[in-house]
Amino acid sequence: LTGHSNFRDLWSYAFGKSSAYVLDFAIFFQCFLSSVIYCGLLSDIFSALLPMVGYSFSRSAVITIFGIVVLLPLCLIRNLAALGFTSILGLVAVLYTAIFITYRSIDGTYALDPMG
């Protein structure tokens, strides 16, 4: 529509080049906080699951391992086209969850008094 191919050019077109740093900061901040949240979420999940298969790591060790082994390589990818298939997988997972929760709420599983 505007002929621009990235967010920075579009922002500069709409608001001027002098404020383009605002968009850069917002994108960096959102990506950084998403990575922190993923590390925390994955560490909570896997620090509880790993003892079930015979491995015991502290939460901080799991954060370090996932940060280096999983999130760092994803952050360093220059072209995200290779991750395109994960969008459809995420959509399928969300739809499955919504259908499952709807089914379970209809069959009475989530009722306040399941016996009644």
Please give the chain's pLDDT, 116 residues, in tens. 677 778 888 888 888 888 888 888 998 999 889 888 988 888 898 888 888 998 888 888 888 988 899 888 888 888 888 888 888 998 999 999 999 999 998 887 777 775 65
Quote the pLDDT of residue 59: 87
Radius of gyration of the chain (CA): 21
- 62 in Cβ contact with 43 (< 8 Å): yes
CA–CA distance, 43 with 49 (Å, rounded to integer): 10
How many CB atoms within 10 Å of residue 78?
Answer: 4
CA–CA distance, 105 with 109 (Å, rounded to integer): 6
Quote the pLDDT of residue 102: 93
The two tokens of residue 89 are 């997988």
On the CB side of 66, CA atoms within 13 Å amount to 20
The pTM of this model reads: 0.60
